[in-house]
Chains A and B, each alone.
Chain A
Amino acid sequence: MANLNNIIIQIIGGAGASLIIFFSTLIISLPLGLLITFPRMSKFKPLSAFFVFIISLLRGTPLMLQLIVWYYGPYYLFGWTLGLSWRVPAIIIGFSINYAAYFAEIFRSGIQSIPIGQYEAASVLGYNKSQTFCKIIFPQMVKRVIPPVTNEIITLVKDTSLAFVITYSEMFTVAKQIAAAKTTIIPLFVAGLFYYVFNYIVAFVMDKVEKSFNYYR
């Protein structure tokens, strides 16, 4: 039993490393996604085409490859020696930009799902463009995108295990290492349980958020 306690303590250490990626990515990628949504929906064709391309690049290549590019790219492309302190920033940049691409498309679907009549009504009532968006469109968009955003957040929890590709020891790596050292598969199940519990909390919180937006029902 002492053995199991040991395993759990070590995995908790790894869980901390995973949570750093998770929260940093969430905090950066959600606003960044919204920021990308606007040029993506721009009526100025070259601008929107550029962002369509960027998003397709981010969604169409493996996150694992993107992490390697962010981490080793500065040296192999520009010859900059950044040292090990570049590892965590590289991970957070890689994850945030990748997830921002997905969030941008989710936000776009939310914005475009608002009927055109609401824009017309707002215009009749004398709202200008930014007032229309901030006071009428945005709050409704937030309500509608919560389920797909929850999906992405849950995926993000599990994707944190990709960080080991650039030598960052997060939870799943730690579990695999203990499993190899102690020749038992129990650490893998413990790690699985951690992911499940954490995702359960995420789903629970997002459900509460969703309900709190249900003020018209």
Chain B
Amino acid sequence: MKSLKIIKTLITLLVVSTFIMSCGNKTVATKMENDKNVDSNVSNKAKFIVGFDAEYPPYGYITDDGSYEGFDLDLAKEICERTGMEFVAQPIDWDSKDLELNSGNIDCIWNGFTVTGRENDYTWSVPYVDNSIVLVVKANSEINKKSDLAGKVVMAQAGSSALTALEDESDTATFELAKSFKSLEQCPDYNNGFMSLESGMIDCLAVDIGVAKYKLNNSNGIFRQLDEKLSNEQYAVGFKKGNTELRDKVQSTLFEMYKDGTFMNIANNYKDFSLPEMVCLGEYVK
């Protein structure tokens, strides 16, 4: 009986010590890895980490082969080539964008990022794209104008500018419109919103024009866009408040790219989304 107890104690000790040792090893290993990373940082060029939502075509999205592509990422890549920085595309959870930016995990938010309503929250570049929020319904829907939406179920992406616009009490006209809905629902991403619309869960989706065009061009006439728009808005690059140094560097490079035609060349790659028509950088180039 006694020897059994001793064996038990020994086994327990063995298990506990193995566990502690393995933990210790891990910490050492991680630390070494970190040190390595620091070294490589020092030897390589400065990184430019762009935070973006990977479910937001055409600005930033995941391609068939798993890489990240998009208008904003192309622009950022070009800027890095011209300024000698190392380009890093960092997909983020859109709801956590401020945490990522403020903690320094990303250098900027660049992903069809709407200025309206956030003017004082970030250090902004000048707007480069004019985007509007439009209302999309099913092609066979009886909704033709804003006033038809009374008593209907409308959806917008959580944390999106469309939702902000509909919930903004200071914008009386839009807020009154939102109050006339049967309910205002939220979806985690736009694909989910379009699935809800197609399957008849909701009557109307409030969505940015670029995304609406992309979906309308790729869905064989299932959806239709209302002529009346919900709002007009502009996109810019958002930097951590006070980081004017990086902002100026990026912005002047953008101007340079606009002047030599590179900017519009990149925009023309996204003709399907009517991006060239939406570019408004020309008004600000100095």
Interface residues of A, Cβ cutoff 8 Å to B: 71-72, 74-76, 81-84, 86-87, 164-167, 169, 173, 176-177, 179-181, 183, 185
Known: A167-B187, A167-B188, A169-B186. A177 touches B95 (CB 8 A): yes
Whether B158 is near chain A, meaning CB under 8 Å from some CB there, is: yes
Chain A residues, Cβ within 8 Å of B95: 176-177, 179-180
Beyond contacts A84-B183, A176-B95, A177-B159: 18 other A-B pairs, Cβ-Cβ < 8 A, are A75-B198, A75-B199, A76-B199, A83-B153, A87-B201, A164-B188, A167-B155, A167-B192, A167-B201, A173-B188, A176-B158, A177-B95, A177-B158, A179-B96, A179-B99, A180-B95, A180-B159, A183-B121
Whether B84 is near chain A, meaning CB under 8 Å from some CB there, is: no
Chain B residues, Cβ within 8 Å of A76: 199
Select from chain B the residue with minimum beta-carbon distance to A184: B98
A19→B188 CA distance, assembly (Å): 20
Select from chain A the residue with minimum beta-carbon distance to B155: A167
Select from chain A the residue with minimum beta-carbon distance to B138: A81
Interface residues of B, Cβ cutoff 8 Å to A: 94-99, 121, 153, 155, 158-159, 183, 185-188, 192-193, 195-196, 198-202
A84→B201 CA distance, assembly (Å): 5
Closest chain B CB from A173 CB (angstroms): 7
A76→B222 CA distance, assembly (Å): 13
Select from chain A the residue with minimum beta-carbon distance to B98: A183
Q: Decide if A185 touches B99 in the complex (CB within 8 Å).
A: yes
Chain B residues, Cβ within 8 Å of A180: 94-98, 158-159
Select from chain B the residue with minimum beta-carbon distance to A169: B186
Chain B residues, Cβ within 8 Å of A185: 99
Q: Decide if A81 touches B200 in the complex (CB within 8 Å).
A: yes
Known: A167-B185, A167-B188, A180-B159. A82 touches B99 (CB 8 A): no
Q: Decide if B97 touches A167 in the complex (CB within 8 Å).
A: no
A138→B158 CA distance, assembly (Å): 47
Among B158, B195, B201, which residue has its beta carbon within 8 angstroms of that of A83? Answer: B201
Chain B residues, Cβ within 8 Å of A169: 158, 186
Closest chain B CB from A86 CB (angstroms): 7
Q: Decide if B200 touches A82 in the complex (CB within 8 Å).
A: yes
Closest chain B CB from A191 CB (angstroms): 12
A177→B160 CA distance, assembly (Å): 10
Known: A165-B192, A185-B99. A84 touches B159 (CB 8 A): no
Q: Decide if B186 touches A167 in the complex (CB within 8 Å).
A: yes
Closest chain B CB from A66 CB (angstroms): 15
Q: Decide if A75 touches B185 in the complex (CB within 8 Å).
A: no
Q: Decide if A84 touches B153 in the complex (CB within 8 Å).
A: yes
Chain B residues, Cβ within 8 Å of A81: 199-200
A82→B99 CA distance, assembly (Å): 38
Chain A residues, Cβ within 8 Å of B96: 176, 179-180
The 6 closest A-B pairs by CB, nearest first: A75-B199, A81-B200, A176-B95, A180-B95, A183-B98, A180-B159
Q: Decide if B200 touches A173 in the complex (CB within 8 Å).
A: no
Q: Decide if A165 touches B188 in the complex (CB within 8 Å).
A: yes
Chain A residues, Cβ within 8 Å of B195: 72
Select from chain A the residue with minimum beta-carbon distance to B97: A180
Q: Decide if A82 touches B98 in the complex (CB within 8 Å).
A: no
Select from chain B the residue with minimum beta-carbon distance to A179: B95
Closest chain B CB from A65 CB (angstroms): 13
Select from chain B the residue with minimum beta-carbon distance to A79: B199
Select from chain B the residue with minimum beta-carbon distance to A86: B201
Select from chain B the residue with minimum beta-carbon distance to A81: B200
A82→B185 CA distance, assembly (Å): 16
A177→B164 CA distance, assembly (Å): 11
Closest chain B CB from A74 CB (angstroms): 8
